[in-house]
């Protein structure tokens, strides 16, 4: 490949990153958009380019490609049913099953916010309604610019084209989540492969499918209970690996064969946060019955690397639970449980840089932090986003509130931010272009 072609390929990668947010955790899988320049101030009216009402409820991140924005949703339909609680007896933090639901993907015009199409993919009365803070459409879709892949877990895995035509559907079974708290792991794409983590209480597995046909390439059983963590794919010298976090082990699977290349213990149960990776270093964390954050060098790793020199550092305080970590350059940011205490450490060393920062003005946080253009964006459940500097000592520049709850993580693409509230999708941008 000559230098000019390499230059063109590099420009295409930069272009894609600059204008698109194709998956959960963004173009790099780290929560960062490296080429975007979003606004730093907004409200329910200021710098709102458009605001579109969405039917139903979904906590999935919007994905953006070209002039299209896609969201998933679960819409109650038909007559109300006699409420039936899901989960174990005595658990009262779950929603009641009281309706049949319609599971759908919605495509919007990026410039205007107009709904181009809504594709209903399935209707069913759920066996679990999930936690009261959750939704039945919590897994984020993913796109390669040609197809959109929507994962509703128990209610099916779907491949659609950009016109809303269903190309294929797969039924992977019925998922029974721990405590009846619901489902939420998002799919990931790599080349022609679509990877799904199916950790639940009855027969967990990870599987890779052909993205064009839905045909299963391989499936590997997992000795795990429920996790909500999404898989990531990382490049290694021996080829790409699928990384999946679970209660018992973090494992690296060979993408081609599904063979477990390496594994590491030490996590808690109820793993929710998605791992992040850069420059050979993998960061995983959880915070349920114990707090733990582990950094490991997985370059060339094989076998069981628990308690070996490959584990570079661990922390037992301030670890993430619901929101995933943010890896910006060499800085690793994570929230304590789902509270408004942010920690930044130097990723390779684990040293505080500067350590814990209290996010005054924010409450409980379910959305994962994102970053672009030297700034962090952290959104709490009440719809307030703190914009912080990515500097030696991060400081809050602004607090920006919309008038509805926000559980979904933000998407940053180009000069706009997409915020999925409980009832609307907001497109935030400067009224005057830079």
| pLDDT tens, residue by residue, 188-242 | 999 999 999 999 999 999 999 999 999 999 999 999 999 999 999 999 999 999 9
Distances from the Cα of 91 to the Cαs of 131, 179, 424, in angstroms?
10, 8, 31
| E-strand stretches of 110-156 | 115-124, 142-143, 147-151
pLDDT value, residue 96: 84
pLDDT value, residue 8: 32
pLDDT value, residue 288: 86
Q: Is the pLDDT of residue 14 over 50?
A: no
List, in order, residues 6 or more apart from 355 with CB less than 8 Å away: 343, 344, 345
CA dist 344 and 352 (Å) reads 6
pLDDT value, residue 16: 61
Specify whether the CB–CB gap between 64 and 142 falls below 8 A. no
pLDDT value, residue 305: 98
Percent residues over pLDDT 90 in the chain: 84
CA dist 86 and 275 (Å) reads 29
pLDDT value, residue 73: 98
Residue of 264, 379, 267, 395 whose CA lies nearest to 326: 379
CA dist 394 and 345 (Å) reads 12
Q: What is the DSSP string of 270-318?
A: S--SPPEEETTEEEEEEESSSEEEEEEE-TT--EE-TTSTTEEEEE-SS
Distances from the Cα of 417 to the Cαs of 40, 47, 219, 427, in angstroms?
10, 10, 36, 6
pLDDT value, residue 87: 56
When pLDDT is cut at 50, 70 and 90, the band that residue 7 belongs to is very low
Q: Is 37 exposed, middle or buried (0-12, 13-18, 19+ CB in 10 A)?
A: middle
The structural domains of the chain, ordered by start, are: 1-47+327-434 (2.40.128.630), 60-184 (2.40.10.480), 192-324 (2.40.128.630)
pTM of the model: 0.93
pLDDT value, residue 177: 86
3-state secondary structure of 154: helix
3-state secondary structure of 408: coil
Q: Is the pLDDT of residue 3 over 50?
A: no
Percent residues over pLDDT 70 in the chain: 93
Residue 353, Cα to own-chain centre: how many angstroms?
Answer: 25
The mean per-residue pLDDT over the stretch 379-383 comes to 98
Residue that wins the pLDDT comparison between 3 and 117: 117
Count how many Cα atoms sit within 13 Å of the Cα of residue 107 in the half-sphere of its side chain: 20
Two tokens, residue 207:
């599987």
CA dist 25 and 61 (Å) reads 9
Q: Is the pLDDT of residue 123 over 60?
A: yes
- DSSP state letter for 357: E
When pLDDT is cut at 50, 70 and 90, the band that residue 32 belongs to is very high
Min mean pLDDT across 79-83, 153-157, 216-220 is at: 79-83
Sheet containing 63-65: give its strands across: 63-65, 68-77, 100-109, 115-124
Min mean pLDDT across 88-102, 108-122, 254-268, 307-321 is at: 88-102
For the chain, the C-alpha Rg in angstroms (whole number) is: 20
Distances from the Cα of 232 to the Cαs of 20, 274, 322, 434, in angstroms?
18, 8, 17, 34
**Average pLDDT of the residues of the chain:** 92
pLDDT value, residue 9: 35
Specify whether the CB–CB gap between 42 and 400 falls below 8 A. yes
The mean per-residue pLDDT over the stretch 257-279 comes to 96
pLDDT value, residue 86: 63
Looking only at the bridges linking them, the beta strands covering 303-304 and 115-124 are unpaired
Residue that wins the pLDDT comparison between 8 and 246: 246
């Amino acid at each position: 490949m000559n230098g000019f072609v390499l230059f063109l390929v590099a420009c295409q990668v930069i272009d894609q990153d600059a204008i698109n947010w194709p998956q959960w955790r963004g173009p790099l899988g780290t929560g960062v958009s490296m080429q975007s320049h979003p606004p730093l101030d907004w409200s329910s009216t200021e710098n709102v380019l458009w605001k579109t009402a969405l039917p139903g409820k979904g906590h999935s991140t919007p994905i953006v490609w070209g002039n299209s924005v896609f969201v998933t949703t679960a819409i109650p339909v038909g007559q109300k049913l006699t409420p039936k609680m899901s989960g174990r007896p005595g658990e009262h933090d779950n929603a009641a099953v009281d309706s049949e639901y319609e599971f759908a993907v919605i495509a919007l015009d990026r410039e205007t916010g107009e709904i181009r199409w809504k594709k209903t993919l399935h209707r069913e009365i759920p066996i679990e309604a999930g936690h009261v803070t959750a939704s039945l459409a919590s897994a984020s879709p993913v796109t390669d610019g040609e197809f959109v892949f929507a994962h509703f877990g128990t209610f099916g895995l779907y491949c659609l084209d950009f016109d809303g035509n269903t190309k294929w559907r797969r039924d992977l079974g019925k998922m029974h989540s721990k405590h009846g708290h619901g489902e939420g792991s998002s799919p990931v794409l790599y080349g022609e492969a679509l990877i799904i983590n199916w950790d639940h209480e009855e027969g967990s597995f990870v599987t890779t499918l052909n993205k064009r046909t839905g045909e299963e390439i391989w499936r590997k059983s997992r000795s795990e209970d429920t996790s909500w963590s999404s898989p990531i794919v990382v490049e290694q010298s021996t080829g790409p690996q699928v990384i999946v976090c679970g209660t018992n082990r973090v494992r690296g699977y060979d993408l081609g064969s599904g063979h477990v290349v390496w594994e590491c213990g030490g996590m808690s149960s109820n793993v929710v946060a998605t791992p992040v990776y850069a420059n050979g270093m993998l960061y995983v964390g959880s915070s349920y019955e114990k707090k733990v954050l582990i950094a490991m060098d997985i370059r060339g790793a094989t076998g069981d690397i628990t308690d070996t020199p490959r584990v570079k550092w661990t922390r037992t305080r301030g670890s993430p639970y619901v929101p995933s970590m943010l890896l910006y350059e060499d800085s690793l940011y994570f929230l304590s449980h789902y509270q408004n205490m942010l920690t930044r450490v130097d990723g390779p060393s684990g040293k505080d840089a500067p350590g814990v920062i209290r996010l005054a003005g924010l409450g409980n946080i379910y959305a994962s932090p994102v970053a672009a253009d030297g700034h962090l964006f952290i959104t709490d459940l009440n719809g307030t986003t703190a914009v912080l500097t990515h500097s030696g000592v991060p400081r809050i520049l602004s607090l920006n509130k919309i008038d509805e709850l926000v559980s979904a993580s933000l998407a940053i693409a180009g000069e706009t931010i997409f915020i999925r509230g409980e009832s609307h999708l907001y497109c935030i941008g400067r009224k005057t272009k830079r």
